[in-house]
Structure 1
């Protein structure tokens, strides 16, 4: 390859590295060897290569130091709440760092000090998204790969295959000359506005509709603005210009009555992670419910939403975790703001939700083997919201305590990497 290489590009492994990476079964240990290779094989100048060798020589010292810092930061709180002594935590964290290659903070993030999780700590994953990035660079582009980064393309793809998806009212173009260009009157209903290609719930806003006389007006979720249709159009166009990307205007969806009160009134969604190993049929490996909290219109886990482990077989909710605050995070039976019970709730239309994700994975023409589908469960059934080719690990591991390494995830990812690098194109 010539010219500037993408950050996640990696050349084909050398013969020695192929022996290291391909010699054993595709499992969690194999996945960690791939992660080390991704770090080591990053294109570097000779000086950067020397620095990498120096970092490698110092890694035991630096990892030990990071482990002690993690215990200092969080250990006393764990001792006070869970009764686990500091010496025991030090030994556990050092064993995790040097035995499994996990970041020290993962011990507290995933609560691996709990008896139910401690014995499986080597099966948890924390940075496997790096391998998905490398895979996305290496694999040939599929006809449908655009659906992972463009919400408009995703909605169009869903409609082509007859898959239920949220409708669109308008696309606000930041390149329009002025606020009157392309004006479309919105229906008198609540609206959700989102950038077409931002991730993690960034930039999403809710506009609640009410009548002022006979005319609809919209108020933003924080109560700061109250605009009529033309003023809202102008405001959204200015926002699109500021964000430098189109904004998608959609009707506000409302969850099934059985789960409508779990959050703050905004839409909850289910993350369904599916994998496909070569030409085999896709399968569900992990599920989680995401619940919006506070004033946030998005249910994203990284934006302060609750993450709830969901049993893939039954749709029964476990305890919830909010990814904010000081570790160790409490495992919650109820919504901490409203007191509504979450643990034990059974999600409606559960089989249809899983079938929708599996059908979508069967239809998508992409070589990417792992997809996270975001699905909203409405009164009349599930609808697709997004498809993520870089699904996070936290949302499916932190609440449930079920490690991804205990699922087909590492096997599928290792085999996909082997196939992707089987033929040299360098």
Structure 2
């Protein structure tokens, strides 16, 4: 594929916006964290963080999460970062189609064939339908149409609801307009954390003919409705065969050799049906081909993979060298697939 390059203008706008919003206190806190973790002099870390942000497109949290303080220049160059990912999203995800991925109701409508679960939309006149759906399912998940990082996602059990009219009214008032059946995950995934539906993040690029798998990460929850870090979740990177490359970690300095609740050793995790997952990503990537760069959240069930959501702002999941011992990232794969 010919090199397409990334435009300088979006990069300059992004840097200008970051400069206006920079939180000096936050930068210092991150620098102190790096200093304590890796034994580096804090002022030197601050300078390196600012230089990396301004001239190497490295987000401040990227610098912390991916242990840039202990990496060589060549090793750092292999890491995907959020500023670069943002540029790819802006370039390859057509603005006229992004709303499909931002609105969860619209997403379920467009990708209904790939959800493999029941869902419905709450409106002013369907209190009886909401009750019937919830009682039949036993437990439901509700979602606010627009949200990220797991915000706006809730779980309700029919046995705990006493006033169904009040329940329906509350959903409308809180904007929890999408109701979904709870996904039944594969036993191999439930063995790690049975109380949360644990998603696999597959970052992919569709070039118009072929879907390229850029990175795979397995997220694990702590029993809450979501496996996002805001709910105490963490992740581990997966290799091409779907095997964990090491322990789990998050952006808050927590490292999990084993799952805190079940004792499952994270490095032993093997994603089931990995070939089916890759084929599934290829299928869903073709549904809205105008949005080429997507972070797909998938759950493997006993019957195969199902779709949870797609993120047009794909975000970044990468190796953490101090945890995995792997000192290189996925950026070469992005370059090979996308040509920037």
Q: TM-score range by the shorter chain?
A: 0.7 to 0.9
Deviation, structure 1 residue 194:
1.7
Match of 1:315 in 2: 242
Q: Return 5+ residue gaps in structure 2 as ranges.
A: none
Match of 1:305 in 2: 233
Output aligned runs, 1:26-425, within 5 Å.
26=4, 30=6, 33-39=8-14, 70=27, 72-75=28-31, 77-86=33-42, 89=45, 92-93=48-49, 95-97=51-53, 99-115=55-71, 119-122=74-77, 123-128=79-84, 130-131=86-87, 134-135=90-91, 139=94, 141=96, 147-159=100-112, 162-163=113-114, 165-173=115-123, 176=124, 184-185=132-133, 186-208=135-157, 217-218=158-159, 226-228=160-162, 231-232=163-164, 234-243=166-175, 247-263=177-193, 265-277=195-207, 279-293=208-222, 296-311=224-239, 313-317=240-244, 318-324=246-252, 329-362=253-286, 364-393=287-316, 395-396=317-318, 403-408=329-334, 412=338
Deviation, structure 1 residue 379:
1.7
Structure 2 CA distance for partners of 1:136 and 1:178, relative to 1, 3 Å: same
The separation in 2 between residues aligned to 1:25 and 1:354, in whole angstroms, is 25
Q: Are the equivalent residues in 2 in contact too, given 1:254–1:266 (CA < 8 A)?
A: no
Structure 2 CA distance for partners of 1:111 and 1:247, relative to 1, 3 Å: same
The separation in 1 between residues aligned to 2:129 and 2:301, in whole angstroms, is 34
TM-score, normalised to structure 2, is 0.80
Deviates more, 1:403-412 or 1:383-392: 403-412
Structure 2 CA distance for partners of 1:407 and 1:188, relative to 1, 3 Å: closer
Structure 2 CA distance for partners of 1:232 and 1:316, relative to 1, 3 Å: farther
The separation in 2 between residues aligned to 1:178 and 1:281, in whole angstroms, is 42
* CA RMSD in angstroms, aligned pairs only: 3.7
Deviation, structure 1 residue 191:
1.7
The separation in 2 between residues aligned to 1:293 and 1:83, in whole angstroms, is 31
Q: Return 5+ residue gaps in structure 1 as ranges.
A: 1-23, 41-51, 209-216, 219-225, 415-426
SS at match of 1:148: helix
Which entry has the higher C-alpha Rg, 1 or 2? 1
How many pairs does the alignment contain?
331
SS at match of 2:188: coil
TM-score, normalised to structure 1, is 0.65
